[in-house]
Amino acid sequence: MQQIEAQSLISLSADGEESFITGLNHDYVRAVYGQNTYIDAGRDMELETSLPIAMLVVTVVNDADPVNQYESFSIDSRDGRITSSDKLNPGSIISIDGIAIGVIPDNSSQSALQINFNANATADQVQELIRSLSYINTAEDYQISSSRVWLRIKQDGGGWDNAFIDINTASEDKIVFSPIADVFQGTAESDIFYAPAASLGFGDALDGGGRR
């Protein structure tokens, strides 16, 4: 699968201060139906804060879209370092290297994940956890779906910070435009290109010759 990451942008937190989440806001991810995809496309986001992290909330915000019922998050635990006692179900305990760092509360759901951290959790551990979070869309009857993931972090004794990730999901054979793509070169007159509405702005055009 193809994952596309936007260039780093300076962002502001909810209170107007410079963001302590870097390398994640305004990322674009190309996903394939039925396949897990990291929400941090380059797995290079960073948390730059000296305050303890109290809470992580990751939400699919296009709740009005019926595709939402097929969208969910998971943790890549293949290397054995990050584990959960009951997947991402409420009550599950999240651990790194055998040390419990948080728990999933009762109000968490498959498309609105929440993790409450304890005193063991460090910014580096939460950073590693976010880099391991993946998204999946299991819908089968859509040409293309566009979702926005809203990631929020609450500092203990501080404010909230936010990052938004846009995910375009289609079958593997579809050629999908993203908002940061300039040119796709067609291979035949019968090529079909797919572009979510959010990818096309004023002056943009789809051209059969692949020149715009």
152 pLDDT above the threshold of 70: yes
Antiparallel, parallel or unpaired: β 193-194 and 175-176: parallel
The pLDDT score that the predictor gives to residue 15 is 46
Domain around 161: 21-172
175 pLDDT above the threshold of 70: yes
13 pLDDT above the threshold of 60: no
The pLDDT score that the predictor gives to residue 81 is 95
Distance CA 162, CA 142 (A): 29
As a whole-number percent, the residues of the chain with pLDDT over 70 amount to 73
Please identify which residue in the block is written with the tokens 């990818």.
199
Domain count within the chain = 1
29 part of a folded domain? yes
32 part of a folded domain? yes
CA angle centred on 162, ends 194 and 158, rounded to 5°? 175
9 part of a folded domain? no
198 part of a folded domain? no
Q: In sequence order, which ranges of the chain are alpha helices (DSSP H)?
A: 123-131
Distance CA 38, CA 76 (A): 9
Structure tokens at 73: 């998050």
Q: Which is nearest to 209 in space by CA: 194, 177, 187?
A: 187
168 part of a folded domain? yes
8 part of a folded domain? no
86 part of a folded domain? yes
Can you list the positions of beta strands (E) in the chain? 21-22, 27-32, 37-38, 46-47, 53-60, 71-75, 82-88, 93-96, 99-103, 112-117, 133-137, 144-155, 160-170, 175-176, 193-194
* 178 three-class SS: coil
Q: Domain of 95: which CATH number? A: 2.60.40
The pLDDT score that the predictor gives to residue 10 is 38
What average pLDDT does range 138-161 have in this prediction? 89
